[in-house]
Amino acid sequence: MDLILAQFLTGLAAACSLFLVASGLSLIFGVTRIVNFAHGAFYMLGAYAAYWLQQRLAGPVGFWGAVVLAALLVGALGALMEMTLLRRIYRAPELFQLLATFGVTLMMEDVVVLLFGPEDLLGARAPGLKGAVEVMGQQVPAYDLFLVALGPLVLLALTLALKRTRWGILVRAATQDRDMVAALGVNQKWLFTSVFALGIVLAALGGALQLPRGETAHHTMDLKIIVEAFVVVVIGGLGSVPGAFLAALLVAELNAFGILVLPEVSLVLVFLVMAVVLVARPYGLLGRPQSAQRGALVVTARPWRPFTAPERAIALALAALAAMLPLAGGAYALSVGAEVALFVLFAASLHLVMGAGGMASFGHAAYFGLGAYGAALAVTAGAPMLAALAAGPLLALLGAVAFGWFCVRLSGVYSAMLTLAFAQIAWAVAFQWVGVTGGDNGLIGIWPAAWAASPATFYWLSLAAALLGVALLRMVIFSPFGLALRAVRDNPARAEALGLSRQRVQWAAFAIAGTLAGVAGALFAFLKGSVFPDVLGIPLSVDALAMVLLGGVGTVIGPVPGAILYKLLSIVLVSATAYSKLLLGGLVVALVVAAPRGIAGAALDLLARRRATP
C-alpha cells in the first residue's frame, strides 16, 4: 500500500514537467494550428540553459533565478523563431510547419553539443529541497513533492490567465474563430507570437525543472519528451489545457505503475491507451472537433500523368546509369547505393499514402521495421533468403491492414498521431519482447545467401527492388484504383456521391504502401546483417516524411529525388562533419521556406514557366 502511494507520488511529480511541456504545445496548436515538433528541443534548451546559469549564479536565489531566467531566455528564442520562420509559412499545410520545426530540432540537437559537449550533464540539486520527506512510512524526495504541488499551481495560473486577463480572453476567442477576432481589431500576429512565446517558456521551464530530479541534460532528451507530449496533447484533446493536465497525470501514472506491475509491456502501455482513447473519442478526452480544415496536403494545378515516351527514355537511361555504379564504386559506395535505393522505395511507399491518398503518416517506419523483423525472424528460424524476403513484406502487410483499419477512421492530425501510436507499439514490442526479437540487442547474422552476397549483386538486387517498386507504385497511381484514391483525397464528399467509400479506398492504399515498405525493410535487414528496434523508430518515420515533403508531395516523382538527396546528404554529412544535423536541419528549413512544393515541385514550376515564356 505504502509503496503504491510512493509510486503514485513519483508519477505525479513526473506529470508536472510533462504537463508544462504539453500544455504549451496544446496552447500553441489551439491558436496557431502549428504542430510544433521543436517543442522538445526547447525543453532541452531550457534544461541546458538552467544548467549553464546555475553554474554561474550562486545560492538559492541564483538557483531559482536561473530556472526562471532560462525559461525566459528560451522563450525569447522561441518568439524569434516564430517571427522569422513560422510567420512565413502560416498559410502552408500543417505538415510543412511540422517539417520546418523538425529542421529546427535537428539544428538544436547539434547546437547544444557544440556549446556544451556530448556528455550528460548532471544539474545541481534544489537548495532547501535536497532531502526526503516521510510520507506514510515511505521516503519521498522533497523536490518531488514540490513538483506535485507545482503542477496544479501552473494549471491554476494558466487557467486564471486564460479566464481573467484580456490576453487570455483573446486567446480563447482566437482558438475558436481567428478571423472574427481580427474583425474586432486585434492584431493576430502579436497574439500568435505571445502564445508561441508562452508555450516555449512552459516547455523550457519543464526542462529546467527536470534537472534537480537527477535527470541529466543531454542532446537527445528532446525526442523522448516530444513524443510523450504529443501523446498527452492528443489524449487530452488538441488545444485543451485541462485536457493536457488530465492526460499528463494519466500518462505519468501509467509510466510509474507500468514498470511496477507490467514491466514487459510498460513501453507499449501509453500508446495502447492513446490508441484506445482515439478510437473511442476521436478528438481526445476534452477536445472538440477541429473547426476549419486548412490548406489541403496536396494541391496541384497540374494533373498527374504517366511518363511520355521521351520521359520514359530518360528514366530508363538514369536507371541504367545507376546500374553501372559497380563499375565505378567500391564496396562502401555500393553499400551506400543500396541503402539509398531502399530508402527511395520506402519514401515512395509513404508517398502513395500521403501524396496520392492525402493522409499524413507519422509512423510509416512501422511497416519498414515489420518487414525487417519479418525477414530477420524468418532467417533466425532457418528460412532461406528468398523465403525471408517474402516473410518480411507479409508481416508488414498484416500490420498495415490491422493498423490501417483504425487510422482511416480518423482524419488530419489525429489520424497521423494514431499511425505514430501504432509504430511506437510495434517498436515497444520489438524492444521488450526480448525472447523473440532480442530486444535492444536486436537480431544479428542476417546475411544474404551466397548468390547475393557480393556488394555488386546486393546493390543490383536493391536497385531492382527500388525500380520495380517505384514502377509498381506509379502503375497503381495511374490505375483506376489510383484515380479513386486521388479522387477521395481531392474531395471526399464528391467521391461519396459517386459511390466511392473513402475508408475502403484509403485502407487498401495503406495495405499496398505497407507491403512495399516491408520489401524495403526486409532487404535493409540483409544489407546491414542485423535488425535493431531503430528500424521501427520515430526518427526513421520522420526521415521518410522529410524525404517525401522535400521531394514534393504534390508530384508523382517527388519521393525519388527527395529520398536520394536526403539520404545521400545525411550519409555524406555524417562522415564529413561532426555537426551533420546542424547542416541537414538548416537545409530542411531553407528548403521549406524556399521551395514549399519540394524539389520536384519547384522543378516542374520552373519548366512550366519556361514553356509559358518562349
Partner 1 sequence: MSAPLLEARGLAKAYGGVEAVRDVSFTLAPGEMLALIGPNGAGKSTLFAMLGGQLRPDAGRVLLQGRDITRVPASGRFALGVGRTFQVAATFPSLSVRENVQTALLSRAGELFRLMGRADRSHRAEADALLGHVGLAGAADRAAGELAYGDVKRLELALALGNAPRLLLMDEPTAGMARAERADLMRLARDIARDRAIGVLFTEHDMEAVFGHADRILVLDRGALIAEGPPDAVRRDPKVRAVYLGEEAGP
Partner 2 sequence: MSGGLQLEAQDLAAAYGRAQVLFGVSLALAPGEVLALVGRNGAGKSTTLKAIMGLVPATGTVRLGGQDIARLPAFERARLGLGYVPEDRRIFTDLTVLENLETGRRPPRSGRAPFTEARLFAMFPNLAEMRHRRGGAMSGGEQQMLALARTLMGNPAVLLLDEPSEGLAPRIVAEMAKAVAALKAEGLSILVSEQNVAFTRAIADRALLIERGAVRAAGSVGEIEARLAADALGTDAQ
Contact residues toward partner 2 (CB under 8 A) are 166, 169-170, 172-173, 176-177, 179-188
Largest CA distance in the chain: 85
400 touches partner 1 by CB under 8 A: no
* Binds 496: which of partner 2, partner 1, none (CB < 5-8 Å by kind): partner 1
Closest residue by Cα to residue 444 from 385, 532, 372 = 532
The C-alpha cell that represents 447 in the structure block: 546475411
* Binds 179: which of partner 2, partner 1, none (CB < 5-8 Å by kind): partner 2
479 touches partner 1 by CB under 8 A: yes
* Binds 614: which of partner 2, partner 1, none (CB < 5-8 Å by kind): none
**How far is it, in rounded angstroms, from Cα 77 to Cα 75?**
5
Among 13, 423, 505, 553, binds partner 1 (CB under 8 A): 505
Among 5, 52, 501, 595, binds partner 1 (CB under 8 A): 501
307 touches partner 1 by CB under 8 A: no
Q: Residue with C-alpha cell 529542421?
A: 103
**Could you tell me the smallest distance in angstroms from the CB atom of residue 179 to partner 2?**
6
Pick the closer one to partner 2 by CB: 182 or 572.
Answer: 182
3-state per-residue secondary structure call for 529-559: CEECHHHHCHHHHHHHHHHHHHHCCCCCCCH
Among 59, 185, 289, 303, binds partner 1 (CB under 8 A): 303
301 touches partner 1 by CB under 8 A: yes
The C-alpha cell that represents 216 in the structure block: 541529466
**Could you tell me the smallest distance in angstroms from the CB atom of residue 283 to partner 1?**
21
* Binds 499: which of partner 2, partner 1, none (CB < 5-8 Å by kind): partner 1
205 touches partner 1 by CB under 8 A: no
Among 91, 166, 305, 610, binds partner 1 (CB under 8 A): 305
3-state class of 48 per DSSP?
helix
The answer to whether residues 524 and 543 touch, using CB atoms and an 8 Å cutoff, is no
* Binds 483: which of partner 1, partner 2, none (CB < 5-8 Å by kind): partner 1
CA quadruple 333, 339, 343, 346: dihedral positive or negative? positive
**Could you tell me the smallest distance in angstroms from the CB atom of residue 30 to partner 2?**
11
* Binds 484: which of partner 2, partner 1, none (CB < 5-8 Å by kind): partner 1
Partners of 141 in the beta sheet?
132
Give the angle 231-5-7 at the CA atoms, nearest 5°.
45
The C-alpha cell that represents 433 in the structure block: 519482447
**Could you tell me the smallest distance in angstroms from the CB atom of residue 182 to partner 2?**
4
* Binds 188: which of partner 2, partner 1, none (CB < 5-8 Å by kind): partner 2
294 touches partner 1 by CB under 8 A: no
158 contact partners, CB below 8 Å, separation of at least 6: 23, 241
**Could you tell me the smallest distance in angstroms from the CB atom of residue 506 to partner 1?**
12
Among 183, 292, 324, 497, binds partner 1 (CB under 8 A): 497
382 touches partner 1 by CB under 8 A: no
**Could you tell me the smallest distance in angstroms from the CB atom of residue 177 to partner 2?**
6
597 touches partner 1 by CB under 8 A: no
The C-alpha cell that represents 125 in the structure block: 540539486
490 touches partner 1 by CB under 8 A: yes
Of 256-264, 312-320, 339-347, 483-491, which part binds partner 1 (CB under 8 A)? 483-491
Q: Which residues of 376-405 are buried (b: 16+ CB within 10 A; e: fewer)?
A: bbbbbeeeebeebbbbbbbbbbbbbeebbe
479 contact partners, CB below 8 Å, separation of at least 6: none
Among 130, 224, 302, 312, binds partner 1 (CB under 8 A): 302
DSSP 126: P
Pick the closer one to partner 2 by CB: 129 or 246.
Answer: 246
**Could you tell me the smallest distance in angstroms from the CB atom of residue 594 to partner 1?**
23
Measure Cα distances from 63 to 39, 68, 129, 130 in Å.
Answer: 24, 9, 12, 13
**How far is it, in rounded angstroms, from Cα 82 to Cα 87?**
6
Pick the closer one to partner 1 by CB: 108 or 548.
Answer: 548
**Could you tell me the smallest distance in angstroms from the CB atom of residue 96 to partner 2?**
21
Closest residue by Cα to residue 417 from 243, 227, 552 = 227
3-state class of 121 per DSSP?
strand
**How far is it, in rounded angstroms, from Cα 267 to Cα 289?**
29
Closest residue by Cα to residue 23 from 173, 161, 219 = 161
* Binds 157: which of partner 1, partner 2, none (CB < 5-8 Å by kind): none
Footprint on residues 524-583 left by partner 1 (CB under 8 A): 554
494 touches partner 1 by CB under 8 A: yes
Q: Fill in the amino acid letter for 444.
A: I
Among 508, 540, 545, 600, binds partner 1 (CB under 8 A): 508
CA quadruple 215, 216, 222, 224: dihedral positive or negative? negative
The 316-335 contact track toward partner 1, x by CB under 8 A, reads --------------------
Measure Cα distances from 459 to 42, 137, 325, 331, 464 in Å.
Answer: 41, 64, 9, 10, 8
Residues at the contact surface with partner 1, assessed by CB under 8 A: 298-306, 475-476, 478-484, 486-487, 489-491, 493-501, 505, 508, 554
